[in-house]
Structure 1
Amino acid sequence: MTAPSSPAPSSLRVALVGCGIIGLNHARAILKHPDLVITALVDAVPAAATALADQLVSEHGADRPAEFASLAGALAGAEIDIVVVCTPSGLHVVLAEEALAAGKHVVIEKPLDVSLPRAREILALSRRAEQDGLIVSVISQHRFDPASRVVAETAHSGGFGRLTSGIASVAWWRSQEYYDSGQWRGTWELDGGGAVMNQGVHTVDLLVWFLGTPVEIDARTALLAHERVEVEDVAVATIRFESGALAVVHATTAAYPGLSVRLQVHGDQGSAIIDDDQLEYFHSAATGATGASDGNRAADVVPASELRGGDRGPEQFVIGHLRQYEDIVDAIREHRAPGVTVADAFLSLAVVRAVYLSATLGRPVLLEDVLDGSLDEIVVTTGVHA
């Protein structure tokens, strides 16, 4: 094990738990932040931590982090301020609990977890942690995209008038090899679901952020294009919101060769369309954005680089995470809540769980019954993991 070099006095020291693809994406974003330094890499497979350490040193010129096979070992053997959890989803909460017990700030990759009972535990713990000055945030980097922020601010301020409907579609393709590449993929226990939980949770989160609190979910799911998978590769759902607005959710990993993620928000005074994180269309009569004949005022409300045709290379995904890390660091420095809290992530997780419950039971499900645990026993008896 190689000891890390001493960071600058103002740096926040990060332990990255889970050294796979998502861990690498986090590491690249963390290395771009001047106030963050990675001091520890944790993975139950030592070769994974070593490979990531080698990559960070050779490709990014980073000081070599220490390597550990467990979070407990890292907490005992390295200087750490923030624990970043990038493991399979079913392990998120137990690791977050361990980090909080050690007095560390915590960042959890989406989703919060795959189990609502465990998620309720971390929700309660995070509220107590806040009283001790600890920050707990869940990755929802698309809330920090310029396009998403403009649409959210307009929706919340009444710029679209009365919100009437929304459409959220994730039309992706994942090969059979993708599901066969890891024993945890496509399982209820560790993946927590399929196209909705794993690929669509960010889009569901944005839809809920834009339109408000859901009331009722009615869904259907299917496994149509893959084998040896416990979960769905196609899902559709309708959601009724407190405001009366109605929305459609569509998520699939069976749309060959893979299309875009598309979000539409409609009101009686305006509409917006986000396609692959970029603002494709924006019109708000309430704010006077009516100058173009087709109503497309996107260029007036976000930078041109964020519009259709902007840079969509791999670097864009790192930038999204970096924006959220900037918020997390500021929250720690300013002793405030982060832009995405555990409560935010818990609500989005509950909506995803409601999709699975509705599909399993063959009837609409009230979100209130999912949030308060009324359906937990039904979850167990139907085989859809809680």
Structure 2
Amino acid sequence: MNNRIDHLLKQMNQEQIDSTLITSKANIYYFSNYLTDPHERLVAIYVDQKGHTLLILPEMEEKDAIAAGWSKDILSYNDDTDPWLLLKNYVEKTGHVPGSIAVEKENLSLSRGEIVAQSFPNTEIKDATELLNQLRVQKDQKEFQLLKQAAQLADFGVKTGVKAIEEGKSEMEIVAEIEYALKREGVREMSFSTLVLAGDKTSSPHGNPGKQKIEPGNFVLFDLGVVYEGYCSDITRTVAYKHATAEQEKIYNTVLKAEKAAIDACEIGKPVGDIDKTSRHLIEQAGYGKYFMHRIGHGLGIDVHEHPSMSGNNTLPLKEGMCFTIEPGIYIPEVGGVRIEDDIFMTKKGPEILTSYPKDLQIIG
């Protein structure tokens, strides 16, 4: 973790940032190896250019943070104490009131932002979001192994869901079977709410599973992911139940072709936007362009959606160590939808696909 703090300080120096206050759950974990959900309580890391590095957290979590490997300053508090006042006093005692402080503007609430401004009235408030995104975008070997394990558990989740498909069974019943099986494998947390959609509901990219029952001729779409030791996976597979029409097969095979082409297009140095354009062009050629209404994917790591956004206008070049999803889809109202999604890790040799559940059209039953 010390190397990560050192990299942060180097970037702060380059961007002329005097201090940084980190408050998001994901970044707290990244820099401390301590994974916690603080709810309404403050957990934060304060770092300045003079070498002061502080973890502030509730007193009841102090031993857990130390056990996780945190060895620098700790400032713990109980529920009768104002942690912001303690932080202000700590900074003043260092003798170095910062000229600027970078905060996570996308994470910090307005009320907490006002507290920071009031606590350090002569300090310029800057945004640390992009700086922290850039530090996390390239994963190391340990992160690769955690992401790979999370992906394997996602494969297991889809396999469980496909096996659970039966006529008359509801979407939520299948969700329950998937999550129960994953709990038995030791998974405590899903990356997001598990999605099982059937029939015309598959035409909604972010639909909500409910009591709709599986019927012959349905597409059944699974979108799920797990959190494994703080790292996320995200997979989507679509199958047909009993039979599929010629139109359904055409939609499916178009998405599959677009997904494979996008993965093949992943090369070190290529702009992220080119990956989206490769997939989108094939879907447009097949006549389904207006039914593919989202980006090709997103970054993946401690957060299930993180930097970079895999959108068509992103000029960021692909780099070794990046992890992201590739997930084209076609969604036609009253007909149904197909999405196929894999987790991709960029290596020197090219893209490695972490998720491995079969992608050719399966007709179940």
TM-score (norm 1): 0.28
Q: Which has the higher contact order (CA 8 A, sep 6+)?
A: 1
State which structure, 1 or 2, has the greater radius of gyration over its C-alpha atoms: 2
TM-score (norm 2): 0.29
